[in-house]
Chain A
């Protein structure tokens, strides 16, 4: 999902920065509030950041014969809401852009939008939706994490198709092309991320499947 340095036209780069900035600012405010009001949540918060740090470093082989990495942003979005993950994701993407030459500063806005905004919001929405429908915590967390991961890569495909529409088949054709590279490869990896997210959530809370698992992690109950 990393768009490489200098690979978005200037106008697109600026546009994605403009789209991402309010989310990151709102995330910083939300982060401050959580740390102030629920000190016992700080450790979990740092652990969700660490989880995203690990998963976004792991490039895994996929059935399409290429490699890609999960994002790990679903866990934090489920526990703390999607806003804070905009900040966490930005930190990770900055680390990778500056030290690994992976992603970039000019494409940071676009990469933040896909990995730190769309992914977490989709995860959170699916988590809320499935919980309301009566799904168990494990099932809801699995689908939230997996589909959030997939949504990030679908967003990257859309971003690139907007910037580089196919001369013959236009935006749609380009989206299918980039989707074949990013989103298709990502399907098995998104399932793996869903599994791992449930495992880490259980390990962090020690209350697998109990009703208060998420509330406990968020520092709302003890």
Chain B
């Protein structure tokens, strides 16, 4: 049986993400592009102060990480549920 194309595609995605971390010569501080964009604005307009502040900010990086993980976990959990349901219902049909 041929290997499912998903295996190659997943391996490719992992390689793309890992490459900058392990290949010498690449890499850097790995700051977020959104933060770099914000910094570029502050460089372009020195002294720029945002005219509106977030209503609520995570009190620390840990809490922010928690919420980002929660976002990914909720999405992945539900996605896994749907995929599992689809696959098992297909299995039932084949088994009948």
Which residues of A come within 8 Å of B, CB atoms? 1-7, 10, 43-44, 46-47, 50-68, 95-102, 104-106, 138, 153, 156, 160, 164, 166, 174, 177-178, 181-182, 185-186, 188-189, 191-192, 195-196, 198-200, 202-206, 208-209
Please state if A206 and B90 are interface contacts (CB–CB under 8 Å).
Answer: yes
- Is there a chain A Cβ closer than 8 Å to B47's Cβ? no
Of B10, B37, B56, which contacts A98 at CB under 8 A? B56
8 contacts between A and B (CB under 8 A): A6-B53, A54-B75, A66-B28, A105-B55, A192-B16, A203-B6, A204-B82, A206-B87
Minimum C-beta distance from A92 to chain B (A) = 8
Partner of A2, one of B16, B34, B50, B52: B34
Q: Is the CB of A67 within 8 A of B17?
A: no
Q: Let me know if B45 is at the binding interface, CB within 8 A.
A: yes
Q: Is the interface of B mostly helix, strand, loop or mixed?
A: helix
> Please, how many residues of chain B have a CB less than 8 angstroms from a CB on the other chain?
56
Judged by a CB distance under 8 angstroms, whether B72 is at the interface is: yes
A67 x B31 contact (CB < 8 A): yes
| B5 CB–A CB distance under 8 Å | yes
Using A65-B30, A66-B32, A195-B12 as known contacts, say yes or no to A51 and B4 having CB atoms under 8 A apart: no
- Beyond A64-B28, A104-B52, A205-B86, 8 extra complex contacts between A and B, CB < 8 Å: A6-B53, A46-B78, A57-B72, A65-B26, A164-B45, A181-B40, A196-B9, A206-B90
What 3 pairs across the A-B complex have the smallest Cβ distances? Answer: A65-B28, A6-B50, A53-B75
Residue from B6, B33, B49, B58 within 8 A of A181 (CB atoms): B33
B72 and A54 contacting across the interface, CB-CB below 8 Å: yes
Kindly list chain B residues whose C-beta atoms are within 8 Å of the C-beta of A66.
28-33, 36
